[in-house]
Amino acid sequence: MQFSFDTNLNRIAEKVEAGERLTFDEGIELYTTGDLNALGKLADFERRKRHGRTTYFNVNRHFNHTNICVADCKFCNFYRRSRDADAYTHSVAEGVEIARAAVAEGATELHIVGGLNTKIPFSYYTDLFAALKENFPRLHVKALTMVELDFMARFYKMSDEDLIERLKAAGMDSCPGGGAEIFAEPTRSRICDHKCDADRWLELAGKCHAAGVKTNATMLYGHIETLEDRVDHLVRLREQQDKSGGFQCFIPLAFYPPDSALSSLPGPSGVDSLKTIAVSRLMLDNFDHVKAYWVMLGKPLAQTALHFGANDLDGTITDGGELTEAYSVENGEVKMSKQQLVDLIENAGFEAVERDTVYNRVERAAV
Ligand code: V47
């Protein structure tokens, strides 16, 4: 056996080395271990087995087309009601101009999410995606969470299959992983009772996968959830991945309390974030990639997370968009140049590899 810990982690270590699936109880044991180094070593073993020293990043841009939302999630400081002075909805033409600037800076992906807005016609989405594809055929459109798809299917009275096919035909290439928050009840209802429930979120992910649309998955942690809620979330994602196989990557999202209805909470500690990355890597044996989202972790902790199981840092973001700025621990502008991201990865001891959204390597001509 490669590992010999002075802790009760040895039994779990043997299973990890043998490539065996961990149970819910073992997920809890990993979370509650006092030996952070041992947990990190195990997750790093798994990460290096899959990806060696490679750490992926991409050149991307976020576009939050509207902040008007009928939900009022307790953790969210981004949403507005339509009557609010700072409520907005970007036009299709504005979306195209934002994409144009991003493409000029080398972006391969536009990440599009927004509020649940009853003032927007369905044609807005198909027009936006079609215009993006017409102008930038090689730009990957990663758009709409399962929560947005659920809202759209109900609001525009379409079957899930029809909705997904029409969005895909217009230019939606894949979907981001937001809206998963925490699956377990009653926690989910307490923080976001206007959103679809866990079964519905997972059902829609499965339907996207069946339609050939890859999706990501997230978990919002560090608010009112329990450790059991977190491990339950990971187990449910793992079960769905067994069934439909279309999740590309898992992104734990560290709760950022300021200006939200939960602003009295402290948010997760650095140790908690590292544990969450590590437990995710070890529990999600059927997910290829675990992302340390630097925007929410902050740069130094994101670097450290690469030693705790993460193999992706997300992207340059180029210009974060309003939602990204609302939840980022990086005060001020939320962006990094490609060189800054490469330096961040290399200074942490890894090899930086630019990827596209579906994890193909991006080769660029040297300048
Ligand atoms: O669903 C909202 C979270 C998510 C806060 O798929 C907050 O590659 C922390 O899903 N503190 C949207 N988090 C962002 C998201 C995402 C981000 C980056 C990459 C990908 C991907 C997906 O942001 C929401 C919610 O869970 N969020 N408010 C907050 N105060």
Tens of pLDDT along 122-161?
999 999 999 999 999 999 999 999 999 999 999 999 999 9
Average pLDDT over residues 77-101: 95
For the chain, the domains span 10-354
Supply the pLDDT for residue 321: 67
How far, in Å, CA of 129 to CA of 147, rounded? 18
199-225 per-position pLDDT tens digit: 999 999 999 999 999 999 999 999 999
Distance 178 CA to ligand 1 centre (A): 5
Q: Is the shortest distance between the CB of 327 and ligand 1 below 6 Å?
A: yes
Contact residues for 114 (Cβ-Cβ < 8 A; gap 6+): 64, 65, 66, 67, 69, 148, 323
311-323 per-position pLDDT tens digit: 999 988 866 567 7
- Confidence band of 327 (pLDDT split at 50, 70, 90): confident
Distance 95 CA to ligand 1 centre (A): 20
- Residue 152's identity, in one-letter code, is M
Supply the pLDDT for residue 5: 77
User: Whole-prediction pTM value?
Assistant: 0.96
- Confidence band of 1 (pLDDT split at 50, 70, 90): low
The answer on pLDDT for 232 being more than 90 is: yes
> Closest ligand 1 atom to the C-alpha of 113?
12
Q: Provide the residue count of the chain.
A: 367
Supply the pLDDT for residue 7: 73
Supply the pLDDT for residue 366: 61
Q: Is the shortest distance between the CB of 315 and ligand 1 below 6 Å?
A: no
- Confidence band of 364 (pLDDT split at 50, 70, 90): confident
Q: Which of 177-186, 267-276, 325-334, 339-348 has the lowest average pLDDT?
A: 325-334
* Fold classification of 10-354 (topology level): TIM Barrel (3.20.20)
Distance 308 CA to ligand 1 centre (A): 21
- Confidence band of 333 (pLDDT split at 50, 70, 90): low
**CA 259 distance to own-chain centroid:** 21
Strand order in the sheet with 140-143: 60-63, 109-112, 140-143, 174-175, 214-221, 247-254, 289-290
Tell me the average pLDDT of the chain. 94
- Ligand 1 mutation target, pool 61, 221, 253, 289, most atoms within 8 A of CB: 253
